A and B are shown apart, each in its own frame.
Chain A
Amino acid sequence: MDVNVVIQTVISALTSSAIYILVALGFTLVFGVMRIVNFAHGAAYTAGAYGMFILGTKAGLPYVVSVIVTVVVVALAAALIEVALVERTASDGLKTMILTLGVGLMITGAIEVAFGASPVSVPPVVTGSLDIGPSVVPKDRVVVVICALVVLALLWAFLKYGKWGQALRAVSQDADMASAHGIRVKWVRAIGFGGAAGIAALAATLIAPVLFSTPYIGDDALAKSFMVVIIGGVGSVPGVVLAGLLVGFVESVTTVYWDSSIAGIVTFSVVIMVLLAAPNGLLGRSSARV
C-alpha cells in the first residue's frame, strides 16, 4: 500500500469528518433540547456557504469578517424562525418536522432563484501545501481540520461551563424541571435552535473556500447529519464525534479504493444495520440527552 495514498486519504477523511461532526452537532443539539427533527438544518448549511459567496466573493470582504457576519446572521435568522414559526407547532413533533422541511425548501429555493443552480466558489484563504513524509498535503484542508477542532473545544467548554450551555443541557434532560429551577425554557429553545443553525453555517464557511457550493449542498449535509446522529446515538455528543469520524473515514476509503456511489451505498447500509442491530447507536443512551 502506498504511503502517499494513505496520507491523502487520512487528510481527506479528517476534513470530511470535521465538517460532518460540526453539522451533526447542531442537529443533535436541536433534537436534544427541543425533541424535534430539524429538516431545515441543511438549509442553514447552504445559507452559510452562500453567505460567504455574497460577502467574500461578491462584496470582497475579508474572510474572517465574512465568516462572523454570515454565522451571526444565520443564527439570528434561525432564532427568529424558531420564535415565529417553530414554537407554534411545538406540541406536535411530526408537524414541526414538516414545518421545518417547508422552511428549508423556502430557503434552498430562494437561494436557487437568486444565484442559480450552477456551482459558485469563494476565494481561497490558505494556499500552498505541506510536505508530510512522501506526500504533499494541501494546507487549506489542514486548516479546516484545526479550525473545526478549536470550534469543537469551544463548544464543549460552552456546554460544560457556560451559563447558557448548562441551561441547554438542563432543558434537554428535563424541560419541566429546568423551568421549575428558573430557566427560561423558551429562550433556551430559541438559543439552541439559532446556535445549531449558526454551527451548521460555520461548518459551511470553513469548507466554502475549499469546495464548490450549489443550492443543494444542504441536502447532503442533512443526510450526513442523519447518518452521523443515528450511528453515534441520538443526542450524544461523544457519539457524534465518533460516528462523524467513522462516516468520514468509511466514505474516504471507499471513494479512494472504489468510487463515490459505492461509498454512499456502504455508509447508508451501515446506518440501516446500526439502526436495526443497535437502535440506540454506538454511544446513545435509551433516553436522548445532550
Chain B
Amino acid sequence: MTSHVVDVPEEPSIATPRESRHGAPVSSGGPARRFPVLPVIVAVLVGLVLLAIPETARAGYYQYSFITASALAIAGLGFYLVYQVGGVTFAQAGFMAIGAYTSGLLSRELGWNVFLTALVAIAVTVVLGAVIGVLITRARSEFHFILVTFAFSEVVRLSLTRWVYGADGIPGVPSPELLGYSFRDPTRYYWLAAVVLLLSAALVWRLMHSGLGRMLLSVREGELHLAPSFGIRPETYKVLAFAVASGLAGLAGAVQAHFTNFASPDQFGLQFSVLILTAAVIGGVGYIAGPIVGALVLISLERYLSAYPGTSIVAYGVVLVVVMLLLPEGLVGLFGRIAGLGRFLPNRPNKKVERP
C-alpha cells in the first residue's frame, strides 16, 4: 500500500480522521479558500481542447470518441457516488439500459421531444433506483451488494431481450431536436454531450460539497457507530446516493441511444458494468474527475485497438492490475501528486469500515 500524504488543510469533520484506504488522512472535502490555480488551468486547457477538436482533420473520429466516452463518464459519475457510500455497483449498466429504452421508445413510438423523453428517463431511473436502493441497502456485505446489483442488471438485460423488441434491440431512435434546431450533426451532438457531462459533474460536485456530501462521506467512514449518534440514518443517504447514481445512468443511456440512434440489450451486459468500473478505477475512484478521465482513456484505448479483437480486453486488464498495484489513486491522483496540488482535489478515497 502506498503511503503518500497529501497536505490536506484539516478541518473538523463529522467522521474521525482515521487512515484512509490509501494512507492519506481523511478530510471532509472542504478545501481552504484560496484562489484555485490548478482547477482554473485545467478548465482552460480542457476548454481549449474541446474547442479545437471539431477543427482537427479527424474531427469525426474524435467527436465520436468523446460522445461515447461522455456516456460512459456520466454512468461512471454514478459509480463514484455509490462508491462514496461504500458500495461497488454493477447496476449502472441495467439503469443505463432502462434509460436508453425509456427515452428511445418514448421518442420513437410517441414522437415526444428527446429532451423531454431524456427527462422522463431520468425520472424513471431515479424512482426505480430509490426503490431498488431501499431493498439493496439490506445487503449484508459489499460482496452481497455487488451480487444484487449484478443480478439486477442481468434481469434487466434478459427482460429486455425477452419482452421488449428482442435481442436485436431498437433501431431508428431519433436524434434530439429543440425548437427546430437538430442535433443530428455530430459536431452539434458533441457540444450537447459536453454540456450534459459538465452539468452531471457539476451536480455530483455540488452534492459532494454540500452538507449532504459530508453526510455521505460520514456514512462511509463511520457508518455503524458514529453516524447515528449525529442523527444520521446511513440507509437514507445510501438510498439517496444510489437513486442519484441511477438517474445519472439513465441519462447516460439516453445520451448514448440518441447519438447512435440505436439501443440493444447486449450493449449493457456484464462487460459494460466492468467497463464503467474500470473507467472509474483507472481515473481514480475517489475523484469526481476520475470517471471522466478514465472514460476518455478507455475509449481511446478501445478505438486504437479495435482492429485487433481481444486486445482491448487485455489492455483493460493490464491497466486495472497496474493501477491497483502501483497507482491506487488512479490517473487523477497521480496528476495531483505530480502537480503537488493534491489539496485541490476533493474527496480522496476513504476507508470502508468493515461490517462485523
Q: Given A88-B325, A109-B310, A279-B140 in contact, is the A98-B162 Cβ separation under 8 Å? A: no
- A91 interface residue (CB < 8 Å to B): yes
Question: B297-336 vs A: 1/0 string, CB under 8 Å?
Answer: 0000000000011111111111111001100100000000
Q: How far is the CA of A265 from the CA of B235 in the complex (A)?
A: 28
Contact B88 A97 (CB under 8 A): yes
Distance from B163 Cβ to chain A, minimum over Cβ atoms (Å) = 9
Q: How far is the CA of A68 from the CA of B123 in the complex (A)?
A: 55
Which of A93, A108, A265, A275 makes the CB contact (< 8 A) with B147?
A275
- A268 interface residue (CB < 8 Å to B): yes
- B343 interface residue (CB < 8 Å to A): no
Q: How far is the CA of A28 from the CA of B128 in the complex (A)?
A: 32
Contacts of B271 in A (CB 8 A): 219
Contacts of A103 in B (CB 8 A): 317, 321
Q: How far is the CA of A147 from the CA of B75 in the complex (A)?
A: 45
Contact A230 B21 (CB under 8 A): no
- A166 interface residue (CB < 8 Å to B): no
Contacts of B314 in A (CB 8 A): 105-106, 109-110, 113
Q: Given A106-B314, A113-B311 in contact, is the A101-B320 Cβ separation under 8 Å? A: yes
Which of B139, B151, B154, B313 makes the CB contact (< 8 A) with A105?
B313
Question: B103-146 vs A: 1/0 string, CB under 8 Å?
Answer: 00000000000000000000000000000000100111011101
- A276 interface residue (CB < 8 Å to B): yes
- A83 interface residue (CB < 8 Å to B): no
- B270 interface residue (CB < 8 Å to A): yes
Distance from A33 Cβ to chain B, minimum over Cβ atoms (Å) = 15
Q: How far is the CA of A93 from the CA of B1 in the complex (A)?
A: 13
Q: How far is the CA of A130 from the CA of B96 in the complex (A)?
A: 48
In the complex formed, the residue of B with least CB distance to A287 is B356
- A104 interface residue (CB < 8 Å to B): yes
Contacts of A117 in B (CB 8 A): 309-310
Contact A275 B144 (CB under 8 A): yes
In the complex formed, the residue of A with least CB distance to B319 is A102
Which of B144, B152, B310 makes the CB contact (< 8 A) with A215?
B310
B257-277 with Cβ < 8 A to chain A: 270-271, 274, 277
Distance from A151 Cβ to chain B, minimum over Cβ atoms (Å) = 26
Contacts of A116 in B (CB 8 A): 309
- B158 interface residue (CB < 8 Å to A): yes
Distance from B244 Cβ to chain A, minimum over Cβ atoms (Å) = 21
Contact B320 A269 (CB under 8 A): no
Q: How far is the CA of A106 from the CA of B274 in the complex (A)?
A: 13
Most buried by A among B139, B158, B318, B324: B324
Interface residues of B, dominant DSSP: helix
Contacts of B154 in A (CB 8 A): 223, 264, 268
Contact B142 A94 (CB under 8 A): yes
Q: How far is the CA of A275 from the CA of B155 in the complex (A)?
A: 15
- A160 interface residue (CB < 8 Å to B): no
Contacts of A264 in B (CB 8 A): 154-155, 158
Contact A108 B155 (CB under 8 A): no
Contacts of A113 in B (CB 8 A): 308-311, 314
Contact A37 B143 (CB under 8 A): yes
Question: A46-85 vs B: 1/0 string, CB under 8 Å?
Answer: 0000000000000000000000000000000000000001
In the complex formed, the residue of B with least CB distance to A89 is B324
Contacts of B150 in A (CB 8 A): 223, 226
Contact B319 A110 (CB under 8 A): no
Contacts of A279 in B (CB 8 A): 138-140, 144
Question: B14-55 vs A: 1/0 string, CB under 8 Å?
Answer: 000000010000000000000000000000000000000000
A-B contact sample (15 more), CB < 8 A, given A102-B320, A106-B317: A91-B1, A92-B1, A93-B142, A95-B21, A99-B324, A105-B274, A109-B314, A110-B310, A110-B314, A112-B310, A113-B309, A117-B310, A261-B161, A275-B148, A279-B139
Q: What 5 A-B pairs are tightest by C-beta distance, nearest first?
A: A102-B320, A109-B313, A112-B310, A105-B317, A106-B317
Pick 27 A–B contacts, CB within 8 A, sort by A.
Answer: A37-B146, A91-B1, A92-B21, A94-B88, A97-B88, A101-B320, A102-B320, A102-B321, A103-B317, A103-B321, A108-B313, A108-B317, A111-B310, A112-B309, A112-B310, A219-B270, A223-B150, A223-B270, A226-B151, A265-B159, A268-B151, A268-B158, A272-B151, A272-B155, A275-B147, A279-B140, A280-B140
Q: Which B residues are closer than 8 A to A by beta carbons?
A: 1, 21, 88, 135, 138-140, 142-144, 146-148, 150-152, 154-155, 158-159, 161-162, 270-271, 274, 277, 281, 308-321, 324-325, 328, 352
